[in-house]
Amino acid sequence: MPIIALCSSKGGVGKTTTSLALALGLARGGHSVCLLEADPNAPLAQWLANAGEQENLALHSGLTEMSIVKAVKKASEAYDYIIIDTEGSGNAATGKAVAMSDLCLLPLSGTRLEAEQVIKTIGLIEDTEIMQKRQIPFRIIFVRTGNFATKEFKFIAQSFAAAGWPVMEQGLKERAAYTAMFQYSVSLFALNNIDVAKADAAKAEATAFAAAVKKICEE
């Protein structure tokens, strides 16, 4: 079953938030999802410990470069989707996650600094493709974006297009509802517009994002 890795060589770009929104969106759609956490800070384990059991969603945390390969293999035999959240340092566990992946998702907001890190991560994917003699599909995702495209954002999007790198049309905007999942330790789908502004818009966006990722996995 599809193994999806959220990767970036830079910390704090939105991997964990995007992993959880994607996992919840797929689980909500009736798919069994296993989140694999390869980050010693374990934000997802903390989230689940407080949020409580979630329908169609399992989590295996505490993965290291020594344990990640076998954990991914085992999960891939039991769940519809495997989503790996890596640590933002481009370490050995990240390299192994990329090597095991059917799809790598590379999140960034529209800043040049993050774009340079995306290019570095694409380099890691390309090296892995050479070593494994296979293509590793990847998609760049814009996250934490505002309602209006800045000049910097447009320049980066054009540069990616010119390089022939695929950018997902469906990204995730900067929304309080995504932050609130961690703030209150709840599922995105348990939030409503009274708890947090535009919760419904975030739920619709995460659902569309999960559907778009599903479609890529089926291509």
Ligand X SMILES: Nc1ncnc2c1ncn2[C@@H]1O[C@H](COP(=O)(O)OP(=O)(O)OP(=O)(O)O)[C@@H](O)[C@H]1O
Q: Contact residues for ligand X (CB under 6 A)?
A: 11-17, 39, 88, 143-144, 172, 174-175, 178-179
> Minimal distance in Å, beta carbon 74 to Mg ion?
22
The secondary structure element, H or E, covering residue 201 is helix 199-218
Q: Tell me which DSSP letter residue 199 carries.
A: H
37 binds, among Mg ion, ligand X, none (CB under 5 to 8 A by kind): none
Of the two residues 128 and 145, which places its CB atom closer to ligand X in the complex? 145
> Minimal distance in Å, beta carbon 77 to ligand X?
27
The DSSP result for 51-81, as a single string, is: H--BTTEEEE----TTTHHHHHHHHHTT-SE
**Cβ(55)–Cβ(33) under 8 Å?**
no
> Minimal distance in Å, beta carbon 21 to ligand X?
7
Using rule CB under 5 A, residue 8 touches Mg ion: no
CA–CA separation, 81 and 67 (whole Å): 19
Q: Which of 16, 18, 128, 207 binds Mg ion (CB under 5 A)?
A: 16
Q: Which stretch binds Mg ion (CB under 5 A): 12-20, 94-102, 152-160, 201-209?
A: 12-20
Long-range contacts of 214-217 (CB under 8 A, 24+ apart): 214/26, 214/29, 214/31, 216/103, 216/137, 216/139, 216/168, 217/2, 217/4, 217/81, 217/102, 217/103
Of the two residues 41 and 193, which places its CB atom closer to Mg ion in the complex? 41
Using rule CB under 5 A, residue 117 touches Mg ion: no
96 binds, among Mg ion, ligand X, none (CB under 5 to 8 A by kind): none
